[in-house]
Amino acid sequence: MNEIAEKIIEKFLIMIAFSTVAVLFLITFFIFKEGIPFLAEYGLFDFLSGTIWLPGENNYGILPMIAGSICVTIGALVVGVPLGVGTAIFLVEFTNKRVRNIVKPMIELLAGIPSVVYGFIGIMVLAPWVRVHLGGSGLSIFTASIVLGIMILPTVISITMDSLSALSPAYKEGSIALGATNWQTVVMVLLPAAKSGILAGIILGMGRAIGETMAVIMIAGNALRIPSSIFDSVRTMTSNIALEMGYALGTHRAALFANAVILFVFIMVLNSIAIIITKKRHK
Amino acid sequence: MNPKLTQKIASLVLGSAVVITLSALVFIIFYILYHGLPLVSLEFLTNPIREMGKSGGIFPTIVSTCLLAIISIFIAAPLGIGTAVFLTEYTRENVITKIIRFTTDCLAGIPSIIFGLFGFVFFVIYLGLGWSILSGSLTLAFMMLPTIIRTSEEAIRAVPKSYQEVTYGLGGSKWQSITQIILPKAMPGILTGIILSVGRAVSETAALIFTAGISLHTPVSIFSSGRSMAVHFYTIAREGISMPMAFATAAVLIITVLMINIVSYFLMNRFLRRYA
């Protein structure tokens, strides 16, 4: 009797364990189901290379949005990677456990702050400052990059810290024994040894930046053109979807789902690279 | 250059990275609380939304947020903990666990706007649930799964194997050892993941706008639409409906997130002190 119950429980748990697989499948299936027919009809190339997005006139080109997403993502990395990797190195190699135990929860708190609040700070503080000191409307790639750069910090910091602390202490001890300073050890021994883990962290940070929606809508200005300077306003793929989904119907809605398909592919490629890099490390 | 000098400069530069990171956090929290907290009153928390958010309070958004958080946890926790139990107790590392781990990692990286679109086509339209607390909760539950699975798995693995062996020695079955020994011992760790997921529900916007909707009324059932606090804040801040109301709402959001993080921090610490 008990044996049977145990068997049933085991089968039941296997089913539950496949819930993430089912969820990922459902998401992929429904996003593609809504977006692919449009792509087939409009043409993938025209969709990706079109520079005009005018749903009223049946013009659906997302090149400006792809450019926008890429610009703010690169900007976020320029701000977030040096800060994040620097912070992680300092916390792991230049300070003691007491300081780490105070700073780490604060960084986790940074991850807990809602993205709408980040966007709000961008509108209220950063954009006016940029407007006064650097010109333009203040709602630009520049502003969005700073805010996104801070938003990806928790991801970059925690993964860099993990990969630095996972290194065998022998590396560090050997280098110090040879008379190297802390900094020389970091640059010549620890960073090269941990570089794949740090890279995975940076790629995951990229995924966060490219997928961020609410903060970017609030601070990037949402202009529908290909930017020519970092003080230009841009619309990202995510903003485009969130801004127009509320009222889009028919072909327009299908086009937004096609936009989501492209975003989804971007994200899945980034995720897979990060996962593969991390898996290789663990071997 | 002199290595000693380089070392000094390096620690100065790296130290300033830490200072910049922490100042960003401190600035955000103080800026919001300084401008928002004086505007938070009992009336603000208990009154309905008036004039699209220009006046009145945020009571309906508090109810919606609580309902969304509670229902999504009730859906995600059994699935997440069940998956973690399977991964830790019922299988060795093989193709199946690899697939499950890969999809969990993928799911964790999917942006909330994609979850929102999916929830919109699947729950709202395909299953006919409409813009409702239920559609929003189901979407949130899917988003929470990776966090709950990972923290539960870590928590279960942290429980010493000897505990389980004792149960077997006393003639207990596998399921008995899981429900009576492992899960209770791992509970503080599992709870940390659940509390962090509540935080996600509180701060989420993109996934809820198209699933739970933006109704201004207090939801009366899981089938009514209701805007969460973050969605409400987004609407009044972005459309510039009322800056004082936006600041006050932001202050409530920040305090909620702060409390959630503090509670999860202490739970996790207590748990780690016991086993690590």
Chain A contact for B19 (CB, 8 A cutoff): no
DSSP string, chain B: --HHHHHHHHHHHHHHHHHHHHHHHHHHHHHHHHHHGGG--HHHHHSPEEGGGTEE--HHHHHHHHHHHHHHHHHHHHHHHHHHHIIIII--SSHHHHHHHHHHHHHHHS-HHHHHHHHIIIIIIIS---SSHHHHHHHHHHHHHHHHHHHHHHHHHHS-HHHHHHHHHTT--HHHHIIIIIHHHHHHHHHHHHHHHHHHHHH--HHHHTTT----SPPSSTTS----HHHHHHHHHHTTS-HHHHHHHHHHHHHHHHHHHHHHHHHHHHHHHHH-
Residue in A12, A18, A242 nearest the CB of B206: A242
Would you call B153 an interface residue with chain A, using a CB distance cutoff of 8 Å? no
Task: Tell me the ipTM for this assembly.
Answer: 0.93
The alpha carbon of residue B117 is apart from the nearest alpha carbon of chain A, in Å, by 8
How does pLDDT run across B116-170, given as a tens digit for each residue? 999 999 999 999 999 999 999 999 999 999 999 999 999 999 888 888 888 888 8
Lowest mean pLDDT among A186-200, B5-19, B184-198, B259-273: B259-273
Q: Among B145, B202, B233, select the one facing A20 at the smallest CB separation.
A: B145
Question: In the CATH scheme, what architecture does the domain A65-282 have?
Answer: Orthogonal Bundle (1.10)
Does B237 contact A107 at a Cβ distance shorter than 8 Å?
A: no
Q: Nearest 5 degrees, angle CA B258-CA B262-CA B268?
A: 145
Q: State residue B161 phi and psi, 5-degree precision.
A: -60, -30
Task: Report which of B42, B26, B67 is spatially closest to residue B248, judged by C-alpha positions.
Answer: B42
Q: Report which of A205, A210, A226, A218 is spatially closest to residue A264, judged by C-alpha positions.
A: A210
* Cα distance between residue A162 and residue A153, in whole Å: 14
Q: For residues B211 and A279, which has the higher predicted lDDT (pLDDT)?
A: B211
Contacts of B142 in chain A (CB under 8 A): 23, 27
- Where b means 16+ CB within 10 Å and e means fewer, A66-75 reads bbbbbbbbeb
Q: Would an 8 Å CB–CB cutoff place B267 in contact with chain A?
A: no
pLDDT at A283: 57
Interface test with B, best of A4, A106, A115, A120 (most B CBs within 10 A): A120
- Residue B1 confidence (pLDDT): 67
Point out the least confidently predicted range of A269-283, B186-200, B238-252, B256-270. A269-283
Dig out the tokens for A224 from the structure. 């529908």
Q: How far is CA A271 from the centre of its chain?
A: 10
Instruction: Note the pLDDT of residue B171.
Output: 81
DSSP for A154-191, written as a single string: HHHHHHHHHHHHTS-HHHHHHHHHTT--HHHHIIIIIH
Q: Does A32 touch chain B (CB under 8 A)?
A: no
Token digits of residue B57: 């309070």
Tell me the nearest-neighbour CA distance from B142 into chain A, angstroms: 7
How high does pLDDT run on average in chain B? 92
- Residue B173: pLDDT band (50, 70, 90) is confident
Q: How is chain B split into domains, by residue range?
A: 38-275
- Cβ–Cβ contact B160 with A under 8 A: no
Over residues A219-252, the pLDDT tens digits come to: 999 999 899 999 999 999 999 999 999 888 999 9
Q: B119 touching A, CB under 8 A? A: no
Angle between helices B59-85 and B133-158 (to 10 degrees): 40
CA distance A218 to chain B (A): 7
Average pLDDT for residues A96-122, to the nearest whole number?
Answer: 93
Q: Does B77 touch chain A (CB under 8 A)?
A: no
Distance from C-alpha of A205 to C-alpha of A271, rounded to nearest angstrom = 10
Query: CA-CA distance, B160 to B32, in Å (whole number)?
Result: 44
Question: Does any CB of chain B come closer than 8 Å to the CB of residue A77?
Answer: no
| A108/B28 Cβ within 8 A | no
β-sheet bridge partners, residue A234: A221
Q: Across the interface, do B234 and A257 touch by the CB < 8 Å criterion?
A: no
Residue A104's CB: how many other CB atoms inside 10 A?
15
Q: What mean pLDDT is predicted for residues B36-53?
A: 92
Distance of CA B144 to the CA centre of its chain: 7
CA distance A12 to B175: 12
User: What is the predicted pLDDT for the residue at B2?
Assistant: 84
pLDDT for A282 equals 64
Residues of B in contact with A218 (CB under 8 A): 234, 237-238
Q: Distances from the Cα of A272 to the Cαs of A207, A264, A275, B177, B179, in angstroms? A: 11, 12, 5, 36, 35
The pLDDT assigned to A32 comes to 96
Cα B61 from Cα B141, distance rounded (Å): 19
Amino acid identity at B30: F
Q: How much of chain B exceeds pLDDT 90, in percent?
A: 72
Q: What is the predicted pLDDT for the residue at B165?
A: 83
Tokens of A226: 């290909």
For A119-154, how does the pLDDT look when each residue is reduced to its tens digit (9 = 90+)?
999 999 999 999 999 888 889 999 999 999 999 999
CATH code matching the domain that covers B38-275, chosen among 3.30.2130.10, 1.10.3720.10, 3.40.140.10, 3.30.70.1230: 1.10.3720.10
Residue A164 above 60 pLDDT?
yes
Write the pLDDT tens digit of every residue in B28-41.
999 999 999 999 99
Q: What is the mean pLDDT of residues B43-68?
A: 92
Chain B residues in contact with A23 by the CB 8 A cut-off are: 103, 107, 142, 145
Q: Which residues of B touch A12 (CB under 8 A)?
A: 82
Beta carbons of A117 and B10 less than 8 Å apart: no
- Counting Cβ atoms within 10 Å, is residue A190 exposed (0-12), middle (13-18) or buried (19+)? buried
CB-CB: which of A24, A123, A153 is closest to B21? A153
Chain CA centroid to CA A202, Å:
9
**Calpha distance A136→B106 (Å, rounded):** 39
Query: B181 pLDDT exceeds 80?
Result: yes
- Whether the pLDDT of residue B15 is over 60: the answer is yes
Question: How many beta-carbon pairs below 8 A join chains A and B?
Answer: 243
Q: Tell me the β-bridge partners of B56.
A: B49
The residue-averaged pLDDT of B180-206 equals: 92
Per-residue pLDDT at B92:
84
Please, what is the average pLDDT of chain A?
Answer: 92
Parallel, antiparallel, or unpaired for β A59-60 and A53-54? Answer: antiparallel
Q: What is the pLDDT of residue A281?
A: 67
The bridge status of strand B55-56 relative to strand B49-50 is antiparallel
Taking the whole predicted model, whether its pTM rises above 0.90 is answered as: yes
What share of chain B in percent tops pLDDT 70? 99
Q: Which is nearest to B261 in space by CA: B25, B15, B70, B82?
A: B25
Instruction: Classify residue A45 by its DSSP letter.
Output: H
Which one of B32, B111, B254 has the shortest CB-CB distance to A212?
B111
Q: A20 and B103: CB-CB below 8 Å? A: yes
Decide: helix, strand or coil at residue A148.
helix
- Tell me which chain B residues have a C-beta less than 8 angstroms from the C-beta of A5: 175
Per the document, the length of chain A is: 283
pLDDT tier at B266, thresholds 50, 70, 90:
confident
3-state secondary structure of A195: helix
